[in-house]
Amino acid sequence: MKELNIGVVGAKFAGDFHVKTWKRITGARIVAVADIDNAARKEFIEQHGIPKGYEDYRKLIEDPEVEVVDICVPNFLHAEIAIAALEGGKHVISEKPMATRLEDAEKIVETQIKTGRKYFYAEDWIFAPALRRAEGILKEGGIGKPLYSRGKESHGGSHSPFAQKLKFCGGGSMIHLGVHPTGFFYHLFGMPVSVTGSCSGGGNRNLNHPEFEGEDWALGILTYQDETRVVVEGNYVTRGGMDDTVEIYGSEGLIKVDLTFGNPLSVFSAKGYSYAVEKADFTMGWTRPAVDEHLSLGYKDELEHFLRCITEGVEQEKGTRAEDGYDILRIIDAIYRSNREGKRITF
């Protein structure tokens, strides 16, 4: 079986979980990593046994061995690197959001069409096994017609210094966290007809994070053609570890998914241990450690799907195509615009 050669851009948090996940996937081979931080790149190469390292991501794109560029750097670089990689003849996998500005996302869609290379918008929630199962039950009619849904990602604040600055992140907790439920509901229900948003004011007008230029709490109400509603939320005011939930209320039932704490494992530790769950403050006392985050948050099935799309011609899931990433960013942008202008935004 031919292996797919992957070059990862970004050697920290997201780069780490991508590489750890790729290593679990048959047919994937990491051939290079690029990062401007020399110390981080060196440590990453040693830790993961990666053959080649580049300071400049352009060199990774020029590397003839690299077939797929996997973008795991801060948000403001997603568009620039995706466009350069597509132009360089590579397939692209990009972490969320697609870009920090709508016009840049539009350019990615244009470049993807022009070059005919594949672009994968990496919304892992679409592949999370619990959400996959929920989708199956919904599609078979198990809860009747979906009427109202809500989904949120929340934790106590991103670890990444890039996430705190508007010019690097493109916004605050909505574009960084709320983008997950938004992408998942786009996968399920498609594009809403209108959006209303409410966000904390950023900086000193935030609820708990004056150091974040973007908002630390945000909510969007998405209205669909048939008057059904979806509420999406992203907040940085949640202590105790990442809290990701989805609820879908139907005419004949309802579904509740607890993505981060919904597992069979409870631990009491008097002295604490190394790791419980993403963004957990500490591990002493009673904790609910994740059993396997790379699986439960969808990364494994997501990257495996992308690999099969390239190597076997499998059709891309709705919600992962370039035009989907663009639509999802249109929804996020409309939430911000609605909050700024104090009115409902219609598409």
Ligand X SMILES: NC(=O)c1ccc[n+]([C@@H]2O[C@H](COP(=O)([O-])OP(=O)(O)OC[C@H]3O[C@@H](n4cnc5c(N)ncnc54)[C@H](O)[C@@H]3O)[C@@H](O)[C@H]2O)c1
Residue 276 burial by CB count (10 A; 0-12/13-18/19+): exposed, middle or buried? buried
Residue 113: CB minimum distance to ligand X, A: 23
Identify the CA nearest to 135 among candidates 264, 326, 294, 317.
Answer: 317
Nearer to ligand X, 110 or 278 (CB): 278
Minimum separation from the CB atom of position 57 to ligand X (A):
5
| Residue 146 or 181 having the CB closest to ligand X | 181
Smallest distance, ligand X to C-beta of residue 147, A: 28
Name which of 12 and 187 has its Cβ closer to ligand X. 12
- Those residues whose C-beta lies under 8 Å from the C-beta of residue 194, and which sit 6 or more positions away, are 222, 223, 344, 345, 346, 347
Cβ closest to ligand X, residue 184 vs residue 217: 184
Tokens of 111: 């470049």
Nearer to ligand X, 35 or 213 (CB): 35
Q: How far is the CB of 74 from ligand X (least distance, A)?
A: 5
Q: Which is nearer to ligand X, 158 or 196 (CB)?
A: 158
Using the minimum distance from each CB to ligand X, give the nearer residue, 3 or 62: 62
Choice between 104 and 124, CB closer to ligand X: 124
**Closest distance to ligand X from the beta carbon of 13 (Å):** 3
- Least Å distance, CB 192 to ligand X, is 22
Beta strand 217-223 with 194-199 is antiparallel
* Shortest distance in whole angstroms from residue 286 CB to ligand X: 25
Least distance from ligand X to the Cβ atom of residue 259, Å = 11
Strands (E) across the chain are located at 4-9, 28-34, 52-54, 68-71, 91-94, 119-121, 146-154, 194-199, 217-223, 229-235, 243-250, 253-258, 267-269, 285-287, 345-346
- How far is CA 125 from each of CA 92, 221, 295, rounded to the nearest angstrom? 19, 19, 11
* DSSP at 209: -
> CB within 8 A of 4, min separation 6: which ones?
27, 28, 29, 67, 68, 307, 310, 311
Measured at the CA of 122, the angle between CA 66 and CA 116, to 5 degrees, comes to: 55
Q: Which is nearer to ligand X, 92 or 221 (CB)?
A: 92
Q: How far apart are CA 274 and CA 292, in angstroms?
A: 14
First to last CA, the chain: 46
Q: How far is the CB of 337 from ligand X (least distance, A)?
A: 21
Cα 58–63–67 angle (5° rounding)? 105
Q: Which is nearer to ligand X, 74 or 325 (CB)?
A: 74
Task: Classify 228 as helix, strand or coil.
Answer: coil
Q: How many CA atoms lie within 13 A of 200 on its CB side?
A: 22
DSSP 176: I
Binding site for ligand X (CB under 6 A): 9-15, 34-37, 40, 57, 72-75, 77, 95-96, 124, 160, 162, 176
| Residue 333 C-beta: closest distance to ligand X, Å | 16
Say if CB 120 and CB 92 are below 8 A apart. Answer: yes
